[in-house]
Amino acid sequence: MDKLNLDQHISQRYNEELEDLRTRVLNMGGLVEQQVANGLQALLEFDADLGEIVFNGDFEVNAMEVEIDEACTEILARRQPAASDLRLVMTVIKAISDLERIGDEAEKFGKVAMRLAGSANRPAYYAELRHLGDQVKSVLRDTLDNFARMDAEGALLTAGRDEAIDREYNSLSRLLISHMMEDPREIKSVLEVFWCARALERIGDHANNICEYVVYLVKGKDIRHTSQQRRLAAQKDKQGPTDPA
């Protein structure tokens, strides 16, 4: 079963509720995406004002998480969803938790940006940071696209890109450590870069989680904590025998 019909319940209102839920999640995703982009921009361009906007914007992200959580609880209580509807609600509950964490990481960028904007110190390795940031932004965007389209194959592929992000982060952290060892005076500023790189790596992990949830939602298979090879094997396993097309 590769296609999920989320609409076409006998109850119109139920259809609307589920649709509303998805829309809200996508809105939250869009907002979080925006926060990440702005946070990175503020950080890389030492823009304290933008940093403050990002810092304040986190409140809205948190508020959305609470709202969507309430909506999920209500659907669980009133509709007793089963099968794909149940998986959708479970996915949403988990995904917003990860989105909120991404929002927190973006908030950190804003704080760092506000801190660094005043100082004259321009940390090194910003180019690598920018590169890592672009990768992470791309993964995040694709993740949200996969969620929007309920694309399990795409989500699987996107999840696979987390390895590259991890590798990039590891090589960057090695560079930063050797720089700190060479020049102890630079440790403070390098550390700032270090924390930001780490935050980016975390964002990548959260996006990876969301991709796993999307696969669970569409396929009904829980692929958390499995390796990529096993996932691809499992994907081939579940060819639905039911579609006449």
Partner 1 sequence: MSKAAEQTQTRNLQLLEAFAGTTGEVRVADRKMRMENVDVFYDDNQALFDVNLDLGKNEVLAMIGPSGCGKSTFLRCMNRMNDTIDSCRIEGRFELDGEDIYGPEQDVVLLRARVGMVFQKPNPFPKSIYDNVAYGPRIHGLASNKDELDHIVETSLKRASLWNEVKDRLDAAGTGLSGGQQQRLCIARTIAVSPEIILMDEPCSALDPIATASIEELIDELRQNYSIAIVTHSMQQAARVSQRTAYFHLGRLIELGETKTIFTNPSHELTENYITGRFG
Residues interacting with partner 1, by CB under 8 A?
1, 5, 7-12, 14-15, 80-87, 220, 240-244
6-30 CB burial, b ≥16 within 10 A, e <16: eeebeeeebeebbeebbebbeebbe
Smallest distance from the beta carbon of 194 to partner 1, in angstroms? Answer: 42
Smallest distance from the beta carbon of 219 to partner 1, in angstroms? Answer: 8
Q: Closer CB to partner 1, residue 88 or residue 113? A: 88
For the record, the structure tokens of 136 come out as 């992470």
Q: Closer CB to partner 1, residue 92 or residue 102? A: 92
Q: Closer CB to partner 1, residue 28 or residue 214? A: 214
| Angstrom distance (rounded) from CA 105 to CA 83 | 33
- In order, the DSSP letters of 87-132 are HHHHHHHHHHHHHHHHHHHHHHHHHHHHHHHHSS---S-HHHHHHH
Residue pointed to by tokens 């692929």? 223
Smallest distance from the beta carbon of 12 to partner 1, in angstroms? Answer: 7
Smallest distance from the beta carbon of 18 to partner 1, in angstroms? Answer: 10
Q: Closer CB to partner 1, residue 12 or residue 119? A: 12
